[in-house]
Amino acid sequence: MELLKNSVAMQEQVLACKGFLVIGYTLEKSSKVHVTRSVLDIVLAFARYLSNLQNGVLLLKQLCDHILFNPAIWIHAPAKVQLVLYTYLSTEFISTVTIYNAIRRVGTVLQVMHTLKYYYWVVNPQDRSGVTPKGLDGPRPNQKEIHSLRAFLLLFVKQLIMKDYGVKEDELQSILNYLLTMHEDDNLMDVLQLLVALMSEHHGSMVQAFDQRNGVRAIYKLLASNSEGIRVQALKVLGYFLKHLPAKRKSEVMLGHGLFSLLNERLMLHSNQFSMTTYNVLFEILTEQICTQVIHKQHPDPDSNVKIVNPRESPLGIPPLNKSPLPTAACLTRPREPPLPYGRCQCYILANKCGA
């Protein structure tokens, strides 16, 4: 590092000879005991120095590509060392303008999603997903530590995606590809929650990109999961998508391909009666009152301002009434009357029509 600081010629030579590639390869192939906190501190010092160097952008790119973003180097390091690295990436790193401008944004998102899939899996994905895991040739963080590390990596992804003017389609595609190709619930949940958060907070760019990349495929794949938690989060994504999609396009997407009928079929794979949790999210979709929070208890009684939105397009049903049995999936898919204010009287009328 001192050589780089004191010699422009050395900086040029390191750049021309891909010096950080050599260092990264050496760290990757060396004994895992050498990847320590002191080594990480040196790497982070390089990043901070190069971010303040007028001509350091190209060297910084090399450092990121071959060392900072290389999971093969870090996966066997002590969990505390990895936590320091990924905390840095999701906080100081992403907030430094010079560093942010030095990295390839789309490529970095793809790299992080690859890292989550092959290195930082919670459950080994080989049996169900057919993904050959990496990082098995040494010690790994335990499951709790993996969850924490994934949280910082996903925070890094979220901040990268929303740093400028919204999501780029290839970035969203990398998230959708992950959701389509992974099948273990523990490997899916946090990435799916990231998608819900992005749809909620940045629907302006997300909904259009989601439509362009046919994101509903991922929703319907996830609705076949045995986990109600996964299905509920998938319904949340669908709810935000429909809420912010123009009415004409909504009809083309959902009615043109019979997706409401398919939604019913997917939900009935698991039971002919919904739990309160699933019922609540269906109610949110019906009224387009979506929230990121998963509600397990009965929704408060709707007021007169809440309306059924496009009832002919929606197979979703009525709000549960106090001490009333939950309606079955078949009940929720019966045709509805034209839109009505969703007050208490209408609740009872619709409930009686369903036999709830």
* Residue 272, pLDDT score: 65
Q: Is the pLDDT of residue 78 over 70?
A: yes
In this prediction, residue 16 carries a pLDDT of: 87
Tell whether the model's pLDDT for residue 206 goes beyond 90. Answer: yes
Tell me how far CA of residue 67 lies from CA of 18, 40, 64, 139, 327, in angstroms: 12, 10, 6, 19, 55
Dist. CA 240–CA 289, nearest whole Å: 9
User: CB 139: neighbour CB atoms within 10 A?
Assistant: 12
Q: Which pLDDT belongs to residue 1?
A: 62
Confidence of residue 45 (pLDDT cuts 50, 70, 90): very high
Cα–Cα dist 345/22, whole Å: 72
What is the separation of C-alpha 113 from the centre of its chain, rounded to a whole number of angstroms?
Answer: 10
Between CA 207 and CA 249 the distance in angstroms is 11
Residue 75: the pLDDT is 96
* Termini Cα distance of the chain: 72
- Overall average pLDDT of the 9-20 stretch: 84
How far is CA 224 from each of CA 128, 173, 235, 267, rounded to the nearest angstrom? 14, 20, 11, 7
Q: How large is the average pLDDT for residues 20-30?
A: 91
Highest mean pLDDT among 37-46, 161-170, 307-316, 322-331: 37-46
Question: How high is the pLDDT of residue 11?
Answer: 78
The reported pLDDT for the residue numbered 297 is 86
| % of the chain with per-residue pLDDT over 90 | 47
| Lowest mean pLDDT, pick from 92-101, 159-168, 324-333 | 324-333
Integer Cα distance of 105 and 131 in angstroms: 25
Cβ atoms of 103 and 57 closer than 8 Å: no
**Residue 40 to residue 36: CA distance in whole angstroms:** 6
More confident residue, 251 or 177: 177
More confident residue, 1 or 76: 76
